Amino acid sequence: MKTIDKLLSEKMMTLVRSNSQSEGQAMADALVEAGVKVIEITLTTPGALKIIEKLLKNKDLLVGAGTVRTIKDVKKVEDVGASFIVSPDTNEDVIKATKKLKLVSMPGVSTPTEVAIAEESGADILKLFPATILGPAHLKMIREPFPNNRWCPTAGITLESIPKWFEAGADLVGLGGPLTKDGVGGVGKNVLAFRNAINEASKVVYRHEISQ
């Protein structure tokens, strides 16, 4: 399955941002143990590339890097074998470098101008960021003039807001803190809760589309 197809079919991109390599590895391992298939390690996490390399030994996982802001970082991520690049901003050079290396590009956008730049630069999926501030209504409105994009709202997603995000047009959601907030021991419970909420929201959206 292609990288984009797997991202879209999973509908949940989990991410790890930590203050140490050992903690980051522990969180990543807990997420994998909980059954996640897509995971992003942010480059602000110490030893991020080493964590990515270790995760890639699991062939069932789709592994990417987050908080990628420079062309140099794109190359480092490609060198260790990650499949997708996630950024907090809309950087044309980073997007183009990502596509040149045949990786999936997911830049952060929040305004129509940024969406246009990302689209023209070849981005594959648009990360609506920060989702908690912008809200589902923002996604619904910004999709109208840019109808052919795939969307991944990230940051501040809650269980209660999941139905609203998918109804507004999200193709998948980015989840970090909501899954890891209770420590390693709480990851499994949180992953299951969000997985169930996403599955139910997707069914509702599908039924709505079929009925139209």
Q: Is the peptide bond prior to 107 cis by the omega test (within 30 degrees of 0)? A: no
Q: What is the pLDDT of residues 1-51, one digit of tens each?
A: 699 999 999 999 999 999 999 999 999 999 999 999 999 999 999 999 999
Complete DSSP assignment for 80-93: HT--EEE-SS--HH
pLDDT in tens, 117-145: 999 999 999 999 999 999 999 999 999 99
Question: Is 3 in contact with 62 (CB distance < 8 Å)?
Answer: yes
Which residue reads 């509702």 in tokens?
A: 204
Catalytic residue list contains 50: no
CATH of the domain at 163: 3.20.20.70
Collect all residues with Cβ–Cβ distance below 8 Å to 53 and sequence separation of at least 6.
80, 81
Given a contact cutoff of 8 angstroms between Cβ atoms, the answer to whether 190 and 179 are in contact is yes
For the question of residue 189 being annotated catalytic, the response is no
- Number of structural domains (the chain) is 1
pTM of the full structure: 0.93
Token pair for residue 150?
Answer: 């795939």
Residue span of the structural domain in which 109 resides: 3-211
Given 11, 78, 114, 127, the catalytic residue: 127
Catalytic residue among 11, 40, 78, 114: 40
